Amino acid sequence: MADIILKKLYIKVWRQNSPKEKGRFETYEIENISQGSSFLEMLDILNDKLILEGIDPIAFDHDCREGICGMCSLYINGRAHGPDREITTCQLHMRKFNEGDTITIEPWRAGAFPVIKDLIVDRTAFEKIQQAGGFVSVNTGGIPDGNAIPIGQDDAEEAMDAAACIGCGACVATCKNSSAMLFVAAKVSQLAKLPQGKVEAKRRARNMVAKMDELGFGGCTNTGACELECPKSISISHIARLNREYLAAKFSE
């Protein structure tokens, strides 16, 4: 039951030392990777090797390594988070690869996500969208009892489906228009489903969409590609709810 060892792999990876510099692909060889290792562990091993050879290690974002923080963000063999469904990059395992494979790794590509270094991009635009309205306007304290307003189980569950978004940006990286609609819709829809968030739903939709447009994300043409690559299976039905709130906001203007 011991894991199979991949004796040799070729890692073709985007190298770019800073935002200003032009990037390029480099290919590195790596040996003896256990199929039980995670994809990021494979990169750790490659980096150890590069360091000892005097080559600058490959910079990539990661933190929790269990699919929840949304930090990891690699475009692997032409797919956001690599060749598996419903997982993040850090949950990808080397079992998905075979002896002698060439694996191509790129950063998220989107105008609104400039490269900082190698595979690390700047996702500050996501922060700005959330700051534009991704909240319920309540202060700490002076709050009624948690059971004061009943919330139907179905509504709570649907809100939770949307709230599962980890803010990774795979939807943007996958979309041919680099649209952030799925990400925005997840928050708008979560809060619109709950009585606490409903009050500001229209204003929230309007402000978040306006911010998204301002920051250079493209428009949504309903291709549905985002939904397929989203590691948390956020459904594009949330985009429909966002559109409803957005239109309602427009009409009431």
Partner 1 sequence: MSKIENKIPQGPLAEKWSKHKSDIKVVSPANKRKLDVIVVGTGLAGASAAASLGELGYNVQAFCYQDSPRRAHSIAAQGGINAAKNYQNDNDSVYRLFYDTIKGGDYRSREANVYRLAEVSPLIIDQCVAQGVPFAREYGGTLANRSFGGVLVSRTFYARGQTGQQLLLGAYSALNRQIAKGSVKMYTRHEMLDVVVKDGKAQGIVTRNMVTGEVKSYGAHAVVVATGGYGNVFFLSTNAMGCNGSAAWQCYKKGAWFGNPCFVQIHPTCIPVHGDQQSKLTLMSESLRNDGRVWVPKKKEDAEKLQKGEIGPNDIPEEDRDFYLERRYPSYGNLVPRDVASRAAKERCDAGFGVNNTGKAVYLDFKYSIERLGVDVIKARYGNLFQMYEKITDTDPYKEPMMIYPAIHYSMGGLWVDYNLMTNIPGLYAIGEANFSDHGANRLGASALMQGLADGYFVLPYTIGDYLANEIMTPKVDTNAPEFKEAEKAVTGRLEKLFNIKGSKTVDYFHKQLGHYMWDYVGMSRNAEGLKKAIDGIKKLKEEFWKDVLVPGELNNLNPELEKAGRVADAIEMGILMAQDALDRNESCGGHFRDESATEEGEAKRDDKNFTYVSCWEHKGDDKDPVLNKEDLVFENVELTQRSYK
Is 44 an interacting residue with respect to ligand FES (CB under 6 A)?
no
Is 230 an interacting residue with respect to ligand SF4 (CB under 6 A)?
yes
Is 99 an interacting residue with respect to partner 1 (CB under 8 A)?
no
| Candidate list 13, 30, 33, 71; residue touching ligand FES; CB under 6 A | 71
Is 88 an interacting residue with respect to ligand FES (CB under 6 A)?
yes
Give DSSP secondary structure letters for the chain.
-PPPEEEEEEEEEEE-SSSSSPPEEEEEEEEEEETTSBHHHHHHHHHHHHHHTTPPPPP---SSSSS-S-----EETTEET-SSSS--GGG-BGGG--TT-EEEEE----TTS-EEETTEE--HHHHHHHHTT-S----SS----TTSS---HHHHHHHHHHHT-----HHHHH-TT-B-HHHHHHHHHHHHTSHHHHTTHHHHHHHHHHHHHHTT-B------HHHHH-TT---THHHHHHHHHHHHHHHT-
Is 95 an interacting residue with respect to ligand FES (CB under 6 A)?
no
What is the pattern of x (binds ligand FES, CB under 6 A) and - over residues 199-238? ----------------------------------------
| Residue (6 or 129) nearer to ligand SF4, CB | 129
Is 186 an interacting residue with respect to ligand SF4 (CB under 6 A)?
yes
Residue that the structure tokens 């950063």 belong to: 107
| Residue (182 or 188) nearer to ligand SF4, CB | 182
Out of partner 1, ligand FES, ligand SF4, none, which partner does residue 147 contact, by CB within 5 to 8 A per kind? Answer: partner 1
| Candidate list 58, 168, 225, 242; residue touching ligand SF4; CB under 6 A | 168
Find the part of the chain contacting partner 1 (CB under 8 A) among 120-128, 173-181, 216-224, 236-244.
120-128
Dig out the tokens for 49 from the structure: 């090797």
- CA atoms of 245 and 224, how far apart (whole Å): 20
| Residue (11 or 159) nearer to partner 1, CB | 159
Smallest gap from residue 85 Cβ to ligand FES (A) = 15
Is 170 an interacting residue with respect to ligand FES (CB under 6 A)?
no
Binding site for ligand SF4 (CB under 6 A): 165-171, 182-183, 186, 230-232, 234
